[in-house]
Structure 1
Amino acid sequence: MTTNAPVKVALVTGAGSGIGRSVALGLLADGFAVVLAGRRPEPLQALVTEAEAQGQQALAVPTDVRDPASVDALFATIEEVYGRLDVAFNNAGINAPAVPVDELDVSHWLNVINTNVTGVFLCARAAFGLMRRQQPQGGRIINNGSISAHTPRPFTAPYTASKHAVLGLTKALALDGRDYNIACSQIDIGNALTELSVRMTKGVRQANGQIAVEPMVDVSHVADAVRYIAALPLSANVLNMTVMATNMPFVGRG
């Protein structure tokens, strides 16, 4: 049974903390009903409680994006509860230890690829299918890339490879979605300040081997960027957007 769905329904993966949480709060403020996916149920439920206190509608669905059955269950719930999906923000992702590639355990490589590539593929695949079936047809898929989709940091082969793969997937989905009114975007983020990135305020290895403190950007600006893309009509798309701390060493020579 479907509910009387609001005008728009959004999915955010990795919604329990950091960028995902900030984006979810922004989409809730914009009037979306937001499905919150993540591996830890406690922060998801805390966000539901926070949303409901504001008169907003959120649904927590604990999900492991690496597991096809878990992703299938997530989208079955979305279809059962809301009957459609308008925006999917594929945000869940992880990193690996920053060590020379020959010292990296293969398990770390597989974990990054399974989460950052296969997880994005599984959720995008399911979102594409629901958006293609639903009436009115169409929707928007937004993938969380990274500036690492374009330029690596030292000792980040797994993460960099995964984000280059997401860039290719985004372009493929943008092309394949044309006939079904499905738009696909990628937001490439540089130095957003979250619980996971706060360590960077103490110094980050640079290409020349030095450790340097880098500027950070408030995560709310990332959320605002996703909100902008989500609000566009499906006749318009932001294929790629970079949101970064203005003075971080990305362009030029640092």
Structure 2
Amino acid sequence: MSESSQPNNNDKIALVTGAGSGIGRAVALGLLNDGFTVVLAGRRIEPLNELVQMAETAGQRALAVATDVRDPQSVEALFSTIKAHYGRLDVAFNNAGVNAPAVPMDELPLEKWLNCIDTNVTGVFLCARAAFGLMRHQIPQGGRIINNGSISAHTPRPFTSPYTASKHAVMGLTKSIALDGRAFNIVCSQIDIGNAYTELSARMTKGVLQADGRTAAEPMVDVKHIADAVCHIASLPLSTNILNMTIMASNMPFVGRG
């Protein structure tokens, strides 16, 4: 665990899971630039520590905590650390997620299904539950939870039953948190992202299996625009909520997919 300088009392505290790369890293940088003190969670501590060093160089504040969102004890330790260092949490971005091999369902190993569900559903639940508890009991009460959904929370791609099922579950969880949080000034949003360009998604520019059996390259969107969208949601007062936002490459095959 590595930390930069302590925040002022007036600073807002944000958590980003899966912060070491891709969308999580871009969002963490965006929140730092917007003045948040950012807790960086992820399984690999090295890229998190690199972000902390970048924040320190820029006069920003960040805390790196190695975390496996699938593990209840690891999540409990993460939130105990947040409470011990800052005493509160204003924004939690549940971003950590994984995919599964794109194969016919009968060829999918059970452990691949379980890893996808454990990370994308149970991991989001564990972090949301802990964030909800901290936000409910802190003074002033309240906060914002943002879940990373997907275009697949609405419509599947071929051979993606684990990922699609997990993201449909996240949508139900988002709506439940948004309802249950009303009594405690806790709001919940979901951002559904289509074709953000990262190291993991770069392969899509070379060809992706389509619903009609073709393989076709797909347009991508700069991950910075995703970060800007999340930061916009994070900046809203708790009296206002964007329940669902879809942000995507304009010409990707979502509207009319199939």
TM-score bracket for this pair, using the shorter chain length: over 0.9
The AA in structure 2 aligned to 1:169 is: L
Q: What is the number of equivalent residue pairs in this alignment?
A: 253
How far apart, CA to CA, are the structure 1 residues paired with 2:199 and 2:124? 22
Contact 2:7 2:61 in 1 (8 A): no
The 1-side partners of 2:255 and 2:126 are apart by 32
Residue number in structure 2 paired with 1:105 = 109
In structure 2, distance between residues paired with 1:75 and 1:60: 12
Q: Which amino acid aligns with 2:154?
A: H
Is 1:81 equivalent to 2:85 in the alignment? Answer: yes
Tell me the residue number matched to 2:95.
91
Return structure 1 stretches of 4+ with deviation > 3 angstroms.
2-6
Match of 1:210 among 184, 195, 214: 214
Report which stretch shifted further, 5-14 or 172-181: 5-14
Q: Which runs of 5+ in 2 are unaligned?
A: 1-5
Choose from 128, 152, 170 the match for 1:124. 128
- The TM-score normalised by the length of structure 1 is 0.98
Residue identity in the other structure for 2:243: L
Does the 8 Å contact 1:6/1:32 carry over to 2? no
Please state how far the C-alpha of 1:6 moved relative to its aligned partner.
Answer: 4.3
For residues 181 and 89 of structure 1, the distance between their equivalents in structure 2, rounded to whole angstroms, comes to 17
CA distance in structure 2 between the aligned counterparts of 1:70 and 1:149, rounded to whole angstroms: 27
Deviation at 1:3, TM superposition (A): 6.3
**Structure 2 residue 163 is matched with structure 1 residue 154:** no
Distance 1:3 1:139 in 2: 18
Paired with 1:44 and 1:3, the residues of 2 have a C-alpha distance of: 18
Measured against aligned partners, the alpha-carbon deviations of 1:32-68 in whole angstroms (never above 9, x if no partner) come to 0000000000000001001110000000000000000
Q: Distance in 2 between matches of 1:199 and 1:253?
A: 19
8 Å Cα contact 2:93/2:147 also seen in 1: yes
Q: How many angstroms apart in 2 are the aligned matches of 1:5 and 1:77?
A: 17
Contact 1:173/1:184, CA 8 A, preserved across alignment: yes
**Runs of 5+ consecutive residues of structure 1 not aligned to the other structure:** none
Q: TM-score, normalised by structure 2?
A: 0.97
Say what the alpha-carbon RMSD is for the aligned residues. 1.0
1:25 to 2:29 alignment:
yes
Partner of 2:16: 12
Percent identity reads: 77
Residue aligning to 1:167: 171
For 1:252 and 1:65, the matched residues in 2 are separated by: 34
